[in-house]
Structure 1
Amino acid sequence: MNTPTLKRVVFLLLLTLVTVAFGWVLKPFFGAVFWAVTLALMFDPIYQRILRAVRGRTNLSALITLLICLVIVILPMALVTSTLVAEASALAQRIKGGELNFRLYFQQILSALPHWLLDWLDRLGLSNLQGVLDRVSSGLAQAGQVLASNALAIGQNTFDFLVSFVIMLYLLFFLLRDGRDLSKLVLESAPMERDHTSYLLRKFTTVVRATVKGNVVVAVVQGALGGLAFWVLGIHAAVFWGVVMALLSLLPAVGAALVWVPVAIYLISTDAVLQGVGLIIWGVLAIGLSDNLLRPLLVGKDTKMPDYLVLVSTIGGMSLFGLNGFVIGPTITAMFMAFWALFNRGDDETLEGG
């Protein structure tokens, strides 16, 4: 190996090592960095409009955009979180005190089942319904306590949350102000064809915007519709269950039905037939159709990914990266498709579709 080649190899190894080390340093603040980048991509069009309105004053434009982001996104989330913590705490106390008895609720449902259905369950080998009931109710009680304790952990880890929050806002300001320059730097520095790098950056931006916009809109709509229905029916902790339905709605095809369907069954089995049927109608027509109409329009259309890939990548992303995975999973999948499109097809054909 000649000297120039050796120097190049050593340089690339050191570059890789430093890059990995930099990522390791940022790891404790991954969530703050991730959401700063995501929000910067989401609010960049607003920043550009304000920048033109204030005649190119970048600091002022970034500050105004940051304030808009606070009003539209962060403050409402803080208000909902505070209400969620309060209701989760009250829910945990009711479970602990026995006021909420999942075993009793399931017993009421079983008592309302017709004899032919009970006989059918016996033929399926579920003859020991009491044992099944005890296990299910115990699991639900534990799940409720875990949900409540996790919500309470937000308050217990206030300092860490505030540090990450301040870092996110700090980074968001500079990413808004210097984002275009950073993208140009990536475009010029990446060891790839300029057109390929430009196409991939556009694809990444489009997918992140579409995923966040679509999933967040669907989650907010479904959570609000579900919470409203529970509030009208007089179900305790309507905000808490609305937030749970919003989080579950991040999973396409199943989502909020995991909450409102059991509640509707319970209402029907306890002679509240009108309320139960009304909840089913509301769940199917309002909550369910909002997912079927909004998600393909906001997510699949812009990402150009089929629904089954959106579903699998969302579930896989959330299983690996937690809540952040509802953005990371589809983004990785879309970039996977984009790289293979560049590899398999002609450059001109691929870039025209990008």
Structure 2
Amino acid sequence: MKSTAVEQKTFLLLLVGVTLAFGWILFPYYGAIFWAAILAMLFRPVFRWLVKRFKGRANLAALCTLCLVLVIVILPTAFITASLVQEGSAIYQKLQSGEINIGRYVQQIFDHVPSWVMGLMERFGVGDMGALQAKLMAALNEGSRNLATSAINFGQNTFDFLVGFAIMLYLLFFLIRDGRDVSLMIRDAIPLEERHKHKLLGKFTTVIRATVKGNIAVAVAQGAIGGITFFFLGIHGAVLWGVLMALLSLLPAIGAGLVWGPVAIYFLATGAVAKALVLVFVGVFVIGLVDNILRPLLVGKDTKLPDYIVLISTIGGMALFGLNGFVIGPVIAAMFISTWDIFASSRDDARMNPPDAVTLEPPPADPSTTRR
């Protein structure tokens, strides 16, 4: 008995050790593996349809599905990324040459500040406009340079990107073809009750599909509308600001407004009232309408998570995991809620259905003592 217990503990320790070691090996390319699994999950219905059309030829169906992923997802993303890097480099060069002078824009805003606003700011102890202007200009210049240099650095890390991209494509083919077998193997290996596994894995799949499809649809719509609006208003770097709005729109309710809001304030402060009104109208009634209509339909309806949970988990996920966090954060939040719900329901079941009480029965009578 003691030998068996020691062997079990040793095996569990070995299992944990090799699992952590394998995760450590895969960690440098976890992003490629993560998105390969997500894309395989999203395009699984297409693969099943193609298998039926090709009369069971899974390899051909997986190859066609992979080509479809390239055309629909990867090529447009690569085109937008190349445009972003090019435009970020151009803006950085204009900042270096002085063609774009953020300090001049800040000065224009302060020149149009009303006197009553100046008096109010002096009352609250921020009346030193020179020092305040210097701090704002330094912060804006630093932020703009960081944004531009980040785009340049992203373009320079070509080798790592190509390696990760090749790993993702290679793995994506096999996950599309063998994804069902892999998921069943993982499901069988999880040491939980069948009903709990069904609930958790179902929630996991639902949240990933809803988060990716919903958030990406909202981000693309808001980024495209914002970028086109900036282009027609004559704002430099329309593609760059459109992509930034798309990325920030991953944050529910507050995302894209962090870009078009300050620009609208600048237009209003410098006397370009018509441009400010156009931008506010588009931001509130078009971009905001996309967020208020599409996001609840595509994300909240399926995940059944409150908006504040989605917001906090998205921000926290992106702070920890970067861009991948807009999926990882809500998934962890959904699994957290589901796990505690299972725990609470299990305790309720235990209270409602207690184990049967042990009844003490009298011992059977001795036949030799019974009366005849």
Q: What residue number does 1:25 align with?
A: 25
Shift of 1:261: 1.1
* Pair 1:246 & 2:246 matched: yes
Unaligned runs of 5+ in 1: 350-354
1:312 pairs with 2:302? no
Amino acid at match of 2:168: M
Aligned pairs for 1:123-142 (under 5 A) are: 123-142=123-142
Q: Is the 8 A contact 1:188 1:194 kept in 2?
A: no
TM-superposed CA distance for 1:270, in Å, is: 2.1
Which residue in the other structure is 1:110 paired with? 110
Is 1:330 paired with 2:330?
A: yes
Aligned to 1:56: 56
Q: Which residue of 1 aligns with 2:364?
A: none
CA offset digits 1:91-110 (Å, max 9, x no partner): 00111111211121111111
With normalisation by structure 2, the TM-score equals 0.91
The alignment yields a C-alpha RMSD, in angstroms, of 1.4
Does the CA-based 8 Å contact 1:264-1:276 persist in structure 2?
Answer: yes
Secondary structure of 2:43's aligned partner:
helix
Amino acid at match of 2:9: V
Equivalent residue for 2:4? 4
Could you tell me which residue of structure 2 aligns to residue 89 of structure 1? 89
- Offset from partner CA, 1:32-80 (integer Å, 9 cap, x none): 1111111111111111111221122111111111111111110000000
What TM-score comes out, normalization by structure 1 length? 0.96
How do 1:175-194 residues align onto structure 2 when only pairs under 5 Å count? Answer: 175-194=175-194
Larger gyration radius, structure 1 or structure 2: 2
C-alpha separation between the residues in 1 aligned to 2:69 and 2:99? Answer: 41
**Separation in structure 1 between the aligned mates of residue 26 and residue 193 of structure 2, nearest angstrom:** 29
Preserved contact between residue 187 and residue 194 of structure 1 (Cα < 8 Å): no
The residue identity in structure 1 corresponding to 2:57 is: R
Write the distance in 2 (CA, Å) between the matches of 1:168 and 1:19: 21
What is the Cα deviation at residue 299 of structure 1? 1.0
Aligned residues: 349
Tell me how far apart the structure 2 counterparts of residues 187 and 24 of structure 1 sit (CA, whole Å): 22
Asked if structure 2 preserves the Cα contact closer than 8 Å seen for 1:257 and 1:283, the reply is yes
Matches within 5 A, 1:190-201: 190-201=190-201
The residue type equivalent to 2:249 in the other structure is S
Unaligned runs of 5+ in 2: 350-372
1:207 Cα deviation (Å)?
A: 0.5
Question: What does residue 296 of structure 1 align with?
Answer: 296
Q: Distance in 1 between matches of 2:305 and 2:151?
A: 33
Residue in 1 that maps onto 2:223: 223
Q: CA deviation at 1:88?
A: 0.3
- For 2:324, give the aligned amino acid: N
Distance apart, 1:348 and its partner CA: 12
Matching residue of 1:284: 284
Q: Indicate the SS of the match to 1:345.
A: helix
Which residue of the partner structure matches residue 352 of structure 1?
none
Change (3 A) 1:335 1:282: same
Output one character per residue of 1:240-297: Cα deviation in whole Å (capped at 9) or x when no partner. Answer: 1100111111111211111111111111222221111111111100111111111111
Other-structure match for 2:368: none
